[in-house]
Amino acid sequence: MSDATGLKIAARDVDVFYGDHHAIKDVSVAIADRTVTAFIGPSGCGKSTFLRCLNRMNDTIDVCRVSGTIELDGEDIYDRRVDPVQLRARVGMVFQKPNPFPKSIFDNVAYGPRIHGLTRSRGELDEVVENALRRAALWDEVKDRLSAPGTGLSGGQQQRLCIARAVATAPEVLLMDEPCSALDPIATAQIEELIDELRGNFSVVIVTHSMQQAARVSQRTAFFHLGDLVEFGETGQIFTNPQDPRTESYITGRIG
Amino acid sequence: MTDIAGVRPPRLLTRDARTRRRNAAEFRFRLYGRVAVCIGVAALIVLLASVVANGVGAFRQTFLTLDLSLDAAELDPSGARDVAAMKKVTTIGYGRFLTRQLKAAIAERGIRIEGITDSDIAGMISKAAPAQVRDRVLADPGLIGRTVAFRLLANGRIDGYLKGRVTMKSARLDGNVSPAQLRLSDALRKDGMLAMAFNWGFITSADASELRPEAAGLGVAILGSAYMMIIVLFLALPIGVASSIYLEEFAPTNRWTDLIEVNISNLAAVPSIVFGILGLAIFINFAGLPQSAPIVGGLVLTLMTLPTIIIATRAALKSVPPSIRDAALGVGASKMQAIMHHVVPLAMPGVLTGAIIGLAQALGETAPLLLIGMVAFVRDFPAPPPEGFLDPATALPVQVYNFTQRADPAFAERASGAIIVLMVFLLAMNLVAILLRRRFERRW
Amino acid sequence: MNSASLLLIVFAIALAGWFLGRRRALAMAGGDARRLHSLSGHHGQAVFLFAAVPALLVMFVWLFVQPIVTEARIGDAIRANGLFRQISPSLVMSDVRRVAHGLDLMVDRGQIDEKGLAALGADGSELRARLGRVGVAVGGNVGGDVLAAARTLRRDNHRGAVGMAVAVVAVALAGLVWSLSRISVEFRARNVSENFVLTLFFGASLVAVLTTIGIVGSLLFETVHFFRIYPARDFFFSFTWSPQFRGGSDLGIWPLLWGTLYVSLVALILAVPVGLMSAIYLSEYASKPLRAVVKPLLEILAGIPTVVYGLFALMTVGPFLRDMIAEPMGLGSSSSSVMTGGLVMGIMLIPFVSSLSDDIIHAVPQGLRDGSFGLGATQSETVRQVILPAALPGIVGAILLAASRAIGETMIVVMGVGAAARMGLNPFEAMTTITVKIVSQLTGDTEFASPETLVAFALAMALFVFTLGLNVVALVVVRKYREQYE
């Protein structure tokens, strides 16, 4: 694993097409290890699409084509020899809408470790599940009802369950696609706190609509507009001293 | 904390053993899926192929072309050309007459078959042929005294020989046909007297008895099915549409409406044979309607198709957006006007598609018809409607079943042939449904 | 006058009412339609409905009730007559009906006039021969009582027909006159006719309920009748089925139930995995073009009438199984067998299971798939561990519906499974099912009062209750499942 400030994912000259629609235009981004990188931009600017390229979730969409290179620790993830399954075990994802499986809380979290064969015994699995739930700050709320269905939790709890589920697989990168958009402010605050904590072990990439959120949780920010990467840099610099007039318009609320 | 990340080799370009195993499982799973799809498609192909292979022969039939000199002395002994008097000569007389003529024709062509008897020669011709000649002569007494070319049905076994069902070997074991007859048919075939031709009679004539499979046709069955479809169309469509409109647009949401809805969805899944019981108990035993009548069949099939039509119609009505209703109500139309003028016409393609699917289902249904006596042997064509609705008739699918119940293997071919006819009708109906959907499909 | 021409007359009256109603409404408004509360067309429509519908209703009820009344009267006469004690009244009744029909035909063809008919004696064979000439076959020589009853029947039928014609036309005219008299400028013809139509719609929705009542009623009635002459204990607990013509039949349901369940089991063992896997393959794996071709193909399988499957079992699958498997392995020599019927029924159920499963799999939200893929699951892991468990209740419902179809299926088992009531384990033996026995007990010449015939109703009742139970459970399960993802 690379050191704390090293490069984790390097995307170069990435283009994405949805059928005839050119969704991402020649984007290059370098994502550092153990930092939180935020993708911001108006709706439809391609930030989620780009995020989904980073663990090849776009493979599940027939009409989507990706060109350019995206490297994880120096290996091209779009290489023909790469199995997307193996990739996604290392680059986990949390989605906009909480999507717990219709199984028990325990089985939800244990799903990743089980399919990837990460544990050898039931005891080990219990430990992994507990750790993941603790890290997602959910353990205290659910420890007495691990066999209750995950779908019975509140929205914020469900999203933290999904984060725990992703964490349990021990990924190196965690992609989060607007993880708070379906949540109320209190749940949002909890999740943001969590993201800040996760930074200690993972590199986190978060797509968000909210500029305040990006400013609160991220160290680096990329601004997308109409499929272009307009500006990418330190979060503080982007928000206080944007280089591009479009970025400035967006963060001051003139486009969006 | 267990550091499980360290267990995993960090390389992406090489696959670890577990991933390979998982991919193999993935491959197997996909294979099961492919196999399942193949089983389904293969079953369809084998089914259709077997029906077509078995049944296509029913559309071709062996005929014996014979120049008959219609001898007045024999066929009209009174000489007055009076039809009533000519009727005195029965089909048995015509049978003897035909045998003699055939024998003469064989001798004239110099065909000699060893060990052939007179009854062998008589057996070359279908037992239905004398009636065929008689009917034509009675219809046109002017033919008498002339020599007329007749195309007569050959016996079913001879037909089977030409189609490969009967062989020399099987003929030796069969009391109904002798090897000499088969040799004779070879000779007649070479001569051109015996030949296969398209068999219109299969589609137009009535059923025939056990002993003359070559004459059996589907005419009565097709007519009976048509009568029943008319009844189903004229009852099920209006009732189905009316009750769907009520349930979908007007019915208050209460227990009673709920009951009707549950009732309809359950009725759709009641085994069809139970509807036959209903028909037998209510329409025949209680109301005293005649057995084997298309009206009873039509009523039973109407009740059976009603749920299908109601479910399809309600779906079609539901797919018309509420904005259409609001628009009509907004210009002052009454609720009934909004629905009858706007919603129903817009839902019509869906309604008609549902009705056709219901009709197709009714056309292919057999079990309930067995119970109301439509399985009976019916030789006479029913009268034109409406009186004909009360005459005995059969239906296409029941005729299929009927054919399979008979001993002569020639009927097996007829059964498959009848299915081809049935499937052609079903195909045509489904094509109409698809075209309707294509033509009028609307996206909101 | 026959019913068809009566129908035409009623429609003619109603149509006339439509024109008259319109004219009268316009005339009352002095030719200015704007003064009317309702459009003149609505007035016409109201008159049309009031003229036609009550008259048709009278006609319908009359047609239904008249035969019951007349036959009950004649039936009483027959029962009162000691001569017929040995034969069942229903047989005599059908003789009477046939003779009456024959007499009608003779009159129609001008072979006899009413006067001659009155003089006609029951001199045995002569009448029988004359009836035979018009195509009516009577079992024996026609007795004097039968002839008398037939005459009464003819007279009653004739009177009934005349009475009906008079009544129907009278009702139609009354409706016409009454509704015409109601027309005025303020008359709310639109509301009246709309309410009338709405009532008709409501009536139409009752047909389905009446059908259910008819089914349950007739099954219940005849089943009770059956249990009165045959002990229920023997029906439910006997393990033999051997109907005899001369009484003393053993009519236990178990051999039939066993055959039914065995065949259904074989069918489901084929249909459920194949149907489910093809639904999964088509919705999760197959490319669009493949799906566009294969899905309709499977749907064709669903549209094929069951008699076709029956023939397929009888002519292709049965002989194939017998020659390739059963005989070489010494398992039996019958081409009708549980295996034959079960496999063919399984084929019939494949599209049923697959299309239901397809709907259910599609109802699983995309988010669950994404969640699983996002964790690095393969597609089959996603299907097996996320989608199938999520869809399980719906799939169970689909399987229950398929089972109910299998249990109620008739033609395939009639033509493919056989008629031997037997409780064996060898699937290559012929057995029989409830539906086969319903058909065989109710077709052919059957005497209606014997337990051998009535048992069919008890069997049908059992079938109805069984399938209804499965359907209700399945519908509840599926509905619950749908709500889960709404």
Alpha-carbon distance B428 to nearest alpha carbon in chain C (angstroms): 13
Q: Which member of C209, C306, C378 has the closest CB to residue B260?
A: C209
Of A97, A206, A43, the C-alpha closest to C366 is A97
For residue C194, list chain B residues with Cβ-Cβ distance below 8 A.
334, 336
- Subunit contact A169:C389, Cβ cutoff 8 A: no
Of A73, A90, A118, the CB nearest to B4: A118
Residues B270 and C409: beta-carbon distance below 8 Å: no
Q: Is residue C284 part of a domain?
A: yes
**Do A36 and A204 meet the contact criterion of CB atoms below 8 Å apart?**
yes
Q: How far apart are CA B411 and CA B54, in angstroms?
A: 11
Mutation choice for A interface testing from B3, B7, B12 by most A CBs within 10 A: B12
Q: Are residues C384 and B29, on separate chains, in Cβ contact within 8 Å?
A: yes
Which tokens go with A4? Answer: 């704390």
Cα–Cα distance measured from residue C302 to residue C296, given in angstroms and rounded to the nearest whole number:
10
CB contact under 8 A, C376 and A62: no
Asked if the C-beta of A92 comes within 8 angstroms of chain C's C-beta atoms, the answer is yes
Q: Please answer yes or no on whether A82 and B12 come within 8 Å at the CB atom.
A: yes
Mark yes or no for CB contact B270/C408 under 8 Å.
Answer: yes
* Pairing label, strands A203-207, A173-177: parallel
- pLDDT of amino acid C84: 52
Q: B273, C463: Cβ pair inside 8 Å?
A: yes
> Which of A79, A119, A131 is the closest to B13 by Cβ?
A79
pLDDT in tens, A102-138: 889 999 999 999 988 888 899 999 999 999 999 888 9
Identity of the residue in A77, A119, A170 whose CB atom sits nearest the CB atom of B12? A77
Q: ipTM, 2 decimals?
A: 0.90
Domain count, chain C: 2
Between the CA of residue B382 and those of B111, B318, B390, C444, what are the distances in Å?
45, 42, 8, 21
Q: Which amino acid is at B280?
A: L
CATH 1.10.3720.10 boundaries in chain B = 219-440
Residues 429-458 of C with CB under 8 A from A: none
Question: Which B residues in the span 13-42 are in contact with A, Cβ-Cβ below 8 Å?
Answer: 13-16, 18-19, 22-23
Q: How buried is residue A60: exposed, middle or buried, by Cβ count under 10 Å (0-12/13-18/19+)?
A: middle
Structural contact between residues B127 and B212, judged by C-beta atoms closer than 8 angstroms: yes
CA angle B174-B177-B182, nearest 5°?
120
B364·C307 Cβ contact <8 A: yes
- Is the preceding peptide bond at B386 cis, omega within 30 degrees of 0? yes
Residues found in chain A: 256
Longest Cα separation, chain A: 56
Nearest Cβ partner for B13 among A82, A90, A118: A82
Three-state DSSP class for C300?
A: helix
Considering only the beta carbons, identify the residue of C373, C378, C389 that sits closest to A103: C389
- Is A219 touching B (CB cutoff 8 A)? no
State whether residue C369 is helix, strand or coil.
helix
Q: Which fold has domain B219-440?
A: MetI-like fold (1.10.3720)
Q: B121 phi and psi, to 5 degrees?
A: -65, -45
Q: With a cut of 50, which residues of chain B have pLDDT below it? A: 1-8
* H or E element in which residue A234 lies: strand A228-234
- Per DSSP, C31 falls in state T
CATH of the domain at C446: 1.10.3720.10
Same domain, C155 and C72: yes
- At residue B97, the pLDDT reads 87
Q: Does B253 touch chain A (CB under 8 A)?
A: no
- Asked if residue C199 belongs to a domain, the reply is no
The superfamily in CATH containing domain A7-98+172-251 is P-loop containing nucleotide triphosphate hydrolases (3.40.50.300)
Do B246 and B417 touch, CB atoms closer than 8 A?
Answer: no
Q: What's the pLDDT at B145? A: 82
Chain A to chain B Cβ contacts (< 8 Å): 50
Residues B215/B91, Cβ–Cβ less than 8 Å: no
> What does the pLDDT read at residue A1?
37
Whether A3 has a pLDDT exceeding 50, the answer reads no
Closest-CA distance of chain C to residue B328, Å: 16
**Model confidence, pTM:** 0.86
> How many helices (DSSP H) and strands (DSSP E) are in chain C?
19, 2
Strands A36-40 and A203-207: parallel
DSSP E strand boundaries for B45-186? 60-69, 147-153
Q: List all chains that touch chain B, counting a touch as 3 or more CB pairs closer than 8 Å.
A: A, C
Chain A residues close to B4, C-beta within 8 Å: 113, 118-119, 128, 170
From the list C371, C381, C484, which residue is nearest A95 (CB)?
C371
Given a contact cutoff of 8 angstroms between Cβ atoms, the answer to whether B14 and A82 are in contact is no
- How far CA A187 is from CA of A140, A190, B440, in Å, comes to 15, 5, 49
Domain that holds residue C340: 241-485
**Spatial separation of the C-alpha atoms in residues A15 and A5, rounded to whole Å:** 27
Cβ distance of A60 and C368 shorter than 8 Å? no
Q: Is B438 near chain A, with CB under 8 Å?
A: no
Give the residue extent of every domain in chain A.
7-98+172-251
Note whether residue C158 is domain-resident. yes
B41/C297 Cβ within 8 A: yes
CA distances to A137, A145, C390 from A142, in Å = 10, 5, 22
Q: Is A51 on the interface with C (CB under 8 A)?
A: no
Pick from A244, A235, A216, A207: nearest CA to A47: A207
pLDDT of residue B398: 93
Residue keyed to tokens 């409780």: C423
Segment A161-219, tens digit of pLDDT:
999 999 998 899 999 999 888 888 888 898 898 898 888 888 999 999 888 899 999 99
Q: Touching check for C354 and chain A: CB below 8 Å? A: no
Task: Identify whether C201 is part of a domain.
Answer: no
Structure tokens at C188: 């709310």
Tell me the CA end-to-end span of chain C in Å, nearest whole number.
59
Mean per-residue pLDDT pooled into runs of 10, chain C (486 residues):
81 92 85 79 88 90 80 73 57 74 76 70 65 68 73 83 90 90 84 90 91 93 89 86 77 91 96 95 90 89 92 92 88 88 95 89 88 90 90 89 93 90 87 91 72 88 92 83 64
Q: Which of residues 43-72 of A touch B (CB under 8 A)?
A: 72
CB contact under 8 A, C211 and B239: no
- Cβ pair B382, B227 in contact under 8 A: yes
Contact state of B12 with A172 under an 8 Å Cβ cutoff = no
B10 with A170: Cβ contact below 8 A = no
- Across the interface, whether the CB atoms of B2 and A128 are under 8 A apart is answered yes
**Is residue C252 a contact partner of residue C238, using CB atoms and an 8 Å limit?**
yes
Backbone angles phi, psi at A132, to 5 degrees: -65, -40
Please indicate, yes or no, whether residues C357 and C437 belong to a single structural domain of this protein: yes
**Secondary structure letter of residue B11 according to DSSP:** -
